Amino acid sequence: MSRFEPKNPDYRAIAIATFEQQRAMKTLGISIARLEPGEVDLKMDYRVDLTQQHGFIHAGIITAGLDNACGIAAFTLMPAATGILTVEFKTNLLAPARGERFAFRATVVKPGRTLTVCEGRAYAEQDGNETLIATMSGTLMALPAREGAASQGSARASA
């Protein structure tokens, strides 16, 4: 059970719709595995077309998954008619990204009216075992809804 109370009772539907609008996540094959107020787990299968020269998933792909997980986690606590945008993050790459599947888990550390701070962890899964491969600390900014941007406003979640 989450330790946060969402400001928007429709947070789940809106967060999922926002995630689904992000073409980059579809391109990478990243999907939502779990969603709670202030928390999200994303998943992605290994794909050779997302690797670097040594066959590991590229650090940019891992960072994109973590950034999105932090953004969606923060977005679940935003009021209605609010978008979200990443304004800062730091990633620590801890181990090569090799495995059958990858999980990106994020939790809100400190929600705010304008800025929300999140932490994310990326795991490589192989033969039922998880290895922590990266961490992220991110700051996300609430964006008030703008007229005429309804179809793209929530898609701007760099989350």
Q: Concatenated DSSP letters for 109-128?
A: EE--SSEEEEEEEEEEEETT
Q: What are phi and psi of 96, to 5 degrees?
A: -60, 140
pLDDT above 70 covers what percent of the chain?
90
Rg from Cα positions in the chain: 15
Residue 150 has pLDDT above 80, yes or no: no
The token pair that represents 89 in the structure block: 């993050």
Torsion of CA 78, 113, 1, 99, to 10 degrees: 70
Considering the domain 11-156 in this protein, what is its CATH number? 3.10.129.10
Residue 65 has pLDDT above 90, yes or no: yes
Question: pTM score, two decimals?
Answer: 0.89
CA 72 – CA 89 distance, rounded (Å): 14
pLDDT of res. 1: 54
pLDDT of res. 82: 87
